[in-house]
Each structure stands twice: as structure tokens, then as C-alpha cells.
Structure 1
């Protein structure tokens, strides 16, 4: 049975997601290290991914940590700079698949608010056939519920889904459910996988 839909993660597949690099550039590495040691910003972000309100969650975290309040607010106010740049090769692959009428889905741990901000800057974040967004679904990777929800919604057999994600734990859950998977490291590696499945030409990048 062939591939009937290709599923992209967003962070570190379509756009770089390494907030530490943003903060290093804006406030310096020493200040960034002190802030991340004092405040679990990634845990804050996981709450947003799980469906909590974007602005309120960041504001509450800032209020609870006044020594870093202004820097924490960057997470909301400058999110499109934190989530940058676009990974151009992956965008090329996404668009090439859609030009060939291959259904493209997103499956991402991301809040609805961040995604809306991202779509204002990155048009390709609205270029999909179906989007499965953790903040809207109130379920997150790598737990099985969100994968099951994808299957139930799209109605496709697990073995016909080809999923790229940069995290091995997210890939492992998908593979255990019978999905075809690719652990993303570079657009070139993802392109080779898509070519091996006969979905795109080998020289696409």
C-alpha cells in the first residue's frame, strides 16, 4: 500500500525552533543562561502547546519571575523572531508535494496563538490539506492520543501515512502505530526519503 499523505512537524522541520539562539542574540548568552536556569520556559511553552492561552500563560510566567519579566514577554511579543528562520528546503518539499497533489498534513506541538502569529509571517504555515495542532486538540506528542486522533480524522490506514519529525520519541510513537516515519535532521535527508517512496524526484533540492 502506497503513501496517501505526508505529515510534517513544524518546529525544527519547517521553521527553526531554538529559542536560546534568539535570546543569546538579544540579551547575551550569560543573561540567557541565568534566565533559563531560573525559569523553566520550555515547561511554560508545553502548557501553551497543550492548549493554555498564549498571552495569559506568558504574562503569568513573567509576573511570577519579575527579575526576567521583560525578557520572558519576548516569548509572546516576538514569537516570530524566536521561531526563525524558515527551513527553506523543507518549504520547497512541502510545496512540491502539494503541486503533485500529494496530501500534506501538519502534526505539531504548537499553540493556536503561536501558529496564528507564524502564519502572518510564513505563508507556508497555512499551506496544508489538514492541520493537527496540539493546542487546538488538547493532546500532545509523543502520547498516543494525538496520533489516534489524526487517524480517526483523516480515515487513512496508518501504514499509508509518512511522518517527519525531529524528535525520536515522537517518531517512535508513530512507528509503533504502524506509520511510515523519518527522523528529520536536514531537508536533504527528508528529500531522499520522499524520493525513495516515489513521491518526489531525486533532484528536487
Structure 2
């Protein structure tokens, strides 16, 4: 089946997103566990991904939990250290696809301000043909609406879209709409998939630095 566009998730596909790992390194695992058991920081981040102001949302949460205020504020001040490092193999696949003239899109749960900051640190985020950022769209994966919005904007048949994401619930929703999907578990498997689809060759990947 012909693929007309390839769609990348960003977090844990192109950029590692491991806030717990950063907190463990800075405040220790015990303190991090205590905080995460008390404060739903991922729910806080979901609000940012839906379009809430990045700094204000984190500050409001920090004010609500004074016993963890300094640590919660790290979600803002240390955010780029949590969203790191880039995953070079995935970046190479992105660039190899674009070099072959294959449209490449991003579909990501990401806040408005945090995405703008990430662009300054990861220039490859500017290289997509289209970028679907949840904070700008007002809805997040895995809700059906965000996939509908992508289809309406790109005017490509769902069966001609190949989407990779590290979260199964996002892929399940995409597949239910007819998208072709790939569960990302590392660049090697993703590279093998795009080669098997006839989108790239091993030579193409090598030329892109894979």
C-alpha cells in the first residue's frame, strides 16, 4: 500500500522525555517518588499540552503544594533537561525521508511555549513539512479529534499515512481511523519499517548518518 506521508511523534521518538530520570538525578529517587505520589505532575503537563500557559500552570501547581514548591518549579526551569537528549537515529530517518521528497509531519502532545523553546534547542523540529502540536490545536492524543484535524488539514487518505509513536493508545486510535502505524521501540526498528515500506534504502539511511 502506498504511503503518501510519514508522521512522527516527538517525545521518546525524536527527543527523550524522562522527567522522572531527571528528578532522580537532582533530588534523589525517594524524594521524587514522594512528590509524584502526592502531585499528579503528568496531569499538570497534560493541561499544558492542551494549550494552558506553561509557566502559569506549573506555578499554580507549585503554589498548591508548598511542600514541593521548589521541585515542582523545576518542571519549568529544568524542562529542557527533562526533554533530552535527541535520538540521533530518528533524526537521521526524518532527514532521509525529506531528502527523498517524502512528506514528513509531526503529531505531538506538546505545550505552546515549551514547543517554541524546544525549537531553539532542536533545530530539526523546524524541518517537518507540517507540524501538528496539541497545545496549538486545543486537543491531545489519543482523542479522535486530533487525528480528524490532521486528516482534514493534510487531505491525505488515512490509509496512506504511516504514523510512529511510543504509546500504544495513540496508535490504536490512529489505526481505528485507518492509519498505518508503527510502535516505536528504537530507531533500528523504525528504520527497518520505512525500508520495508519501500520509502528508503539502507544507502539512503547511511547518507543521512544513520
Short-chain TM bin: over 0.9
Corresponding residue for residue 11 of structure 1: 11
Per-residue Cα deviation, 1:152-188 (whole angstroms, up to 9, x for no partner): 0000000111000000000001011111110000100
- 2:148 is matched with which residue? 148
Mapped partners of 2:92, 2:73: distance in 1: 32
- Residues 168 and 183 of structure 1 are in contact (CA less than 8 Å); yes or no, is this contact kept in structure 2? yes
SS of match in other structure, 1:198: coil
The alignment status of 1:192 with 2:192, answered yes or no, reads: yes
The 5 Å alignment of 1:37-116 reads 37-116=37-116
Measured after TM superposition, the shift of residue 202 of structure 1 is 3.2
Segments of structure 2 that go 5 or more residues without pairing to the other structure are none
Q: Distance in 1 between matches of 2:95 and 2:77?
A: 29
**What is aligned with 2:33?**
33
The TM-score normalised by the length of structure 1 is 0.98
Q: Which residue of 2 aligns with 1:157?
A: 157
Residue 166 in 1 paired to residue 166 in 2?
yes
Structure 1 match to 2:132: 132
Deviations 1:98-153 (A, max 9, x none): 11111110001111111111111111111100001110101111110000000000
Length, aligned pairs only: 205
8 Å CA contact 1:79–1:117 kept in 2: the answer is: no
Counterpart of 1:91 in 2: which secondary structure?
helix
Instruction: Write the deviation string for residues 4-59 of structure 1: whole angstroms up to 9, x where unpaired.
Output: 11000000100111100010111111111111111100000011111111111000
Tell me, which stretches of 5 or more residues in structure 1 are unaligned? none
Q: CA RMSD in A?
A: 0.9
1:201 is aligned to: 201
CA distance in structure 1 between the aligned counterparts of 2:9 and 2:108, rounded to whole angstroms: 5
* Structure 1 counterpart SS, 2:202: coil
In the alignment, the residues of structure 1 paired with residue 49 and residue 13 of structure 2 have an alpha-carbon distance, to the nearest angstrom, of 17
Find the aligned partners of 1:19 and 1:172 in 2 and give their Cα distance: 25
- Deviation >3 Å, runs of 4+: none
